[in-house]
A and B are shown apart, each in its own frame.
Chain A
Amino acid sequence: MDSLLHVSSNPHVRDRMTTAGIMYRVALALVPAALFGVIHFGFHALLLIIVTIAACLATEFLYEKGVKRPVTVRDGSALVTGLLLALNLPPNLPVWMAIVGAVFAILVVKQLFGGLGQNFMNPALGARCFMLISFASAMTNFSYGTFDSLTGATPLAALKAGQEVNLLDMFIGNIPGTIGETSVIAILVGACFLLIKKIIDFRIPLAYLATFVVCLILFGGRGFDYQWLLAHLCGGGIMLGAFFMATDYVTSPISSKGRILFGVCLGVLTAVFRLFGGSAEGVSYAIIFCNLLVPVIDKLTIPSAFGRKKSAKAAERKRNA
């Protein structure tokens, strides 16, 4: 034993899971939805996915090189942002628009606020909302293949207009929509993987979807019309949003109670936007709005410590008295 021993404060063991490990698992969980999107919508969808991811990685790399920060491209977070953003784009969007969105997501929403862990808004959704405003018609044009622009209305829009929709098609994903949101089954496969691996907390999606359904029953004017309710659950981006974007760690509350409250806020807002808003969809706006509420939610839901009923402040006062 000639060399010096290592000395550090306990604990001396660490769990194997790393931040990158989490990110790559999330990316893996998105593969079924992405794959379905590519098969369903064709080559242009694949092109958009590749280009968006590449643009996100490149933006992160160039920015961090430029400002001489450690390069974090390998941690997988830019990859997840790129993939999520791509899955939120219409399948026939011009490529250059996707690149603008990717740069916005990484540069403006993520890096300018301090990089990973510091952004207050989900980068992919922040960029999507920016694009919805900037490229309004391209971002809402869901025509593809045999669906022309007339019949290219999403089931959600049809629902809003009072038309009938095919539930089975919606569940499988055989409908117009963004690249990754159409197939409920593909999304659920990935979501189950994340839930089983304990990457995401079931509380957020559960509270979100349950509150959403309750609000629809109460304020939808259709009562307990289960076909209509299911259509709302399978339509638009709510499944992708509830399992993959509302559960983004950085922009969701940290405590269990906070996560439930966060899910409830999401459910209420999504229902309000869908029922009373101008457009048929409301998931993206609901999530980024609730992202902004997270600091407040965190403050309201500080857990009481083991063996304490009163707040720590009260205990402190008692001690000093």
Chain B
Amino acid sequence: MQTMARRTFKGGVHPADGKSLTQEAFIHRLRPTGDLVYPMQQHIGKPAKPIVAVGDRVLARQKIAEADGLMSVPIYASVSGTVKAIEPRMTVSGNRVLSVVVENDGQYEEAPKLPVLEPGTDAAWKETLLSRIAEAGIVGMGGACFPTHVKLAPKEPDQIDYVLVNGAECEPYITGDYRRMLEDPEGILEGLHIIMTLFPNAKGIIGIEDNKPEAVRELTEAAKGYADISVRSVKTKYPQGGERTLIYALTGRKINSDMLPLDARCIVCNVDTVYEIYRAVIKGRPLTKRVITVTGDAIAEPGNFLVPLGMNHREVVEAAGGFSEAPEKIISGGPMMGTAMLALDVPVEKGSSCLLCVKKDVVSTTTQTQCINCGRCVQVCPGRVLPTRLAKAARNHDEETFIKLNGMECCECGCCSYICPAKLDLTQTIKSMRKDILGRRKK
């Protein structure tokens, strides 16, 4: 297997990055005043099960819902108060999800911390560590929300060559990871060091896009104390932070849609996930808040905020100076992969990395024309497929052609739709066909 690092991948796009709006904004801690809403489904897998009842008093950092099986994680209260309701509430995705609603008493009375763990190397330590990560409710903070304790427990941990930390932050506008890297590089290094105790033969690599030289410098400096950890800058290009593209850029190894990073003997974690592991182990704190970038031309004072989970997005916007102008579109996440929100009155979740509010929705102003076969979608596709042909097959419900043209290799990064001069909804069309096929395969 080749192991040459490439620093980048073939394809990709350079959308206007909008990071200058918030990249100098220190992470600002927020305290909510309104009700907190905790959806039971903030991760991939089974929803958590509430363990409190209406009328109960809860403390900040108190567990209010427990994991339901292995593919599930617990949820903690982020303030003290009274459980007001346990009912379905609308979430960022637009779905109604069973949620625990806590009336904030403004006291911030805290439950005791979890005991601080002393890193070791033996089997017992590994078990302790994995159960702590599970207990702390940690999921992939980059937005995928995959339970981290499952990801970090492969069958053969000795086989892992690399633990890769994703600090690329290739999505435009988002600067939360960047600020985290600048403001607490030691925490990230310590988190990575802790993860690496699970993988005795692994080296740690932190990959950062080269538009963040200060983060590269800070982390390189912090990494000097660790012999098996290095920091590498990768080329600034969307989707450099995608799992497949990052593995390729840092190790030269390729995985396809049927494979996991494990097949390339890699573990990939987001910077913020690594940081939360550090906090859970060394500080004894479960996951109760996250960094969110509030930005866009409709926000009066864009910035980065450390937000208690469950806080209403409307309150978060108010903390950012409110709207300078009514936004036409509000996106949870970045402009390439994010979800357009139906309403602002939904809670911040574990996967909420950004709130992007824009005055004008560019998508609604574009006019679609005929595909002229220009091949731009083919050139930018990191999956090396033929997006326009896949979209055509999808429109015709021609599954055979779709599969033959490697349709299942699409990673839904959105590059093809972004670049298309005919403004066709290529990603969207391909995505729905993939969903159909994957759904049928599961049955």
Q: Are A13 and B418 in contact (CB under 8 A)?
A: yes
Q: Are A22 and B374 in contact (CB under 8 A)?
A: yes
Pick out which of these stretches binds chain A: B194-202, B278-286, B365-373.
B365-373
A306 to B11, CA, bound (A): 11
B 361-388 to A, binary, CB cutoff 8 A, 1 in contact else 0 = 1111010011111110011001111101
Least CB separation from B409: chain A residue: A305
Contacts of B257 in A (CB 8 A): 307
In the complex with contacts A13-B362, A303-B384, A313-B404, A22-B421 CB distance below 8 A: yes
Q: Are A5 and B425 in contact (CB under 8 A)?
A: no
A102 to B336, CA, bound (A): 43
| Interface check A163, CB cutoff 8 A | no
A 291-315 to B, binary, CB cutoff 8 A, 1 in contact else 0 = 0000000000011111110011101
> In the assembled complex, how far is the CB of residue A183 from the closest CB belonging to chain B, in whole angstroms?
27
A5 to B421, CA, bound (A): 25
A 1-22 to B, binary, CB cutoff 8 A, 1 in contact else 0 = 1110111111111110111111
| Interface check B156, CB cutoff 8 A | no
Q: Are B337 and A10 in contact (CB under 8 A)?
A: yes
Task: Name the residue in B337, B374, B382 with the highest tally of chain A Cβ atoms < 10 Å from its Cβ.
Answer: B374
Interface residues on B, range: 35 or more
Q: Are B386 and A117 in contact (CB under 8 A)?
A: no
Contacts of A18 in B (CB 8 A): 369, 421-423
| Interface check A219, CB cutoff 8 A | no
Contact of A255 among B330, B358, B363, B375 (CB under 8 A): B375
Pick out which of these stretches binds chain A: B78-86, B303-311, B341-349.
B341-349
Contact of B422 among A7, A19, A308 (CB under 8 A): A19
B 383-426 to A, binary, CB cutoff 8 A, 1 in contact else 0 = 11110110000000000000111111100001001111111010
Least CB separation from B326: chain A residue: A1
| Interface check B327, CB cutoff 8 A | yes
A274 to B179, CA, bound (A): 65
> In the assembled complex, how far is the CB of residue A124 from the closest CB belonging to chain B, in whole angstroms?
15
| Interface check B259, CB cutoff 8 A | yes
| Interface check A116, CB cutoff 8 A | yes
* Chain A, range 55-94, C-beta contacts under 8 Å to B: 72, 75, 77
Q: Are B336 and A11 in contact (CB under 8 A)?
A: yes
Contacts of A22 in B (CB 8 A): 372, 374, 421
B 3-31 to A, binary, CB cutoff 8 A, 1 in contact else 0 = 00000011001011000000000000000
A153 to B261, CA, bound (A): 66
| Interface check B427, CB cutoff 8 A | yes
A6 to B337, CA, bound (A): 16
Task: Name the residue in A11, A18, A319 with the highest tally of chain B Cβ atoms < 10 Å from its Cβ.
Answer: A11
Least CB separation from A302: chain B residue: B405
A313 to B420, CA, bound (A): 28
Contacts of B403 in A (CB 8 A): 312-313, 316
Least CB separation from B298: chain A residue: A1
Q: Are A9 and B421 in contact (CB under 8 A)?
A: no
| Interface check A115, CB cutoff 8 A | yes
| Interface check A249, CB cutoff 8 A | yes
A5 to B361, CA, bound (A): 9
| Interface check A166, CB cutoff 8 A | no
* Chain A, range 256-281, C-beta contacts under 8 Å to B: 256, 259
Contacts of B342 in A (CB 8 A): 5, 7
In the complex with contacts A13-B362, A306-B382, A312-B341 CB distance below 8 A: no
Contact of A9 among B13, B384, B428 (CB under 8 A): B428
Contacts of A5 in B (CB 8 A): 327-330, 340-344
Least CB separation from B358: chain A residue: A12
Contacts of A201 in B (CB 8 A): 375
| Interface check B32, CB cutoff 8 A | no
Contacts of B417 in A (CB 8 A): 11, 14
Q: Are A249 and B423 in contact (CB under 8 A)?
A: no
Q: Are A255 and B386 in contact (CB under 8 A)?
A: yes
A-B pairs with beta carbons under 8 Å apart, 21 shown: A2-B326, A5-B327, A7-B94, A8-B363, A9-B431, A10-B335, A10-B340, A11-B414, A12-B338, A14-B366, A14-B420, A15-B13, A18-B369, A249-B372, A254-B386, A256-B379, A303-B378, A303-B386, A305-B256, A305-B385, A305-B409
- 14 new A-B contacts, CB < 8 A, other than A14-B420, A255-B386, are A9-B431, A10-B340, A11-B414, A11-B417, A11-B418, A12-B362, A17-B419, A201-B375, A249-B372, A305-B385, A307-B256, A312-B407, A315-B256, A315-B258
Using a CB–CB cutoff of 8 Å, the interface residues on chain A facing chain B are 1-3, 5-15, 17-22, 72, 75, 77, 115-118, 201, 249-250, 252, 254-256, 259, 302-308, 311-313, 315-316, 319
